[in-house]
Amino acid sequence: MGEARVTRLAAADAAAVEAQLGRAPRGAVAVGWRCPCGRPGVVTTAPRLEDGTPFPTLYYLTCPRAVKLCSTLESEGAMAAFNARLAADRDFAQRYAAADAAYRADRAALAADLGLDDGPIRAVSAGGMPDRVKCLHALLAHSLAAGPGVNPVGDAVAAELGEWWTAPCAPLPEASEASDSEVTR
């Protein structure tokens, strides 16, 4: 397997995520999606945390505003509507199943890159994929990290939210001068 190279967040990004979550990010190896405000909005998380705990949620939504908007959609019953559509719309359901496969493939590739054993979570997905919608936060995070056209539910959530960062997000303390990530051992 060779030596594991672990890509960690740049210090400024780690500090921003800690401020967003109210705790230090666990297992975050890269910015999965950067908000136009400059902050990380999604972090890519290692399939195992530093203590070895398997961690299936590859893409984790950190932007507090996006988190809150997803929670509002959930409380308004959006998941029931998505689940009804999955049951009624075969094309939508097939694209959602493909999103699950893409998600798990991304995670397996990262596990291989990092030299981590992802065996215990290889069959575990996120957000309810492949046949249920259970967490809009996880599905939006997937869409933001993967780009449009991969996760139809996450894409629909993103469309519903619109450009939430233009509200705007609170300004950054300093202009982002750091690169997305730095490679360390």
Q: Which is nearer to Zn ion, 35 or 136 (CB)?
A: 35
Among positions 74, 122, 165, 180, the unique one binding Zn ion when judged by CB under 5 A: 165
- As measured in angstroms, the least distance from the Cβ of 115 to Zn ion is 33
- The C-alpha atoms of residue 113 and residue 10 are separated, in whole angstroms, by 19
135: left (phi over 0), alpha (psi -120 to 50) or beta: beta
- Other Cβ atoms closer than 10 A to 185: 7
Q: Verify binding: residue 164, Zn ion, rule CB under 5 A.
A: no
Q: Which is nearer to Zn ion, 19 or 93 (CB)?
A: 19
| Strands, sheet with 40-45, edge to edge from the N-terminal-most edge strand | 28-34, 40-45, 59-61
Q: Verify binding: residue 140, Zn ion, rule CB under 5 A.
A: no
- As measured in angstroms, the least distance from the Cβ of 67 to Zn ion is 11
Among positions 36-55, residues that touch Zn ion (CB under 5 A) are: 37, 39
Q: Verify binding: residue 169, Zn ion, rule CB under 5 A.
A: yes
Alpha helix locations (H) across the chain?
11-21, 64-75, 78-88, 90-114, 136-146, 152-161
52: left (phi over 0), alpha (psi -120 to 50) or beta: left
β-partners of residue 42 are 33, 61
Q: Which stretch binds Zn ion (CB under 5 A): 113-121, 138-146, 149-157, 166-174?
A: 166-174
Q: Which is nearer to Zn ion, 83 or 176 (CB)?
A: 176
Among positions 4-43, residues that touch Zn ion (CB under 5 A) are: 35, 37, 39
- Binding residues (CB under 5 A) for Zn ion: these are 35, 37, 39, 165, 169
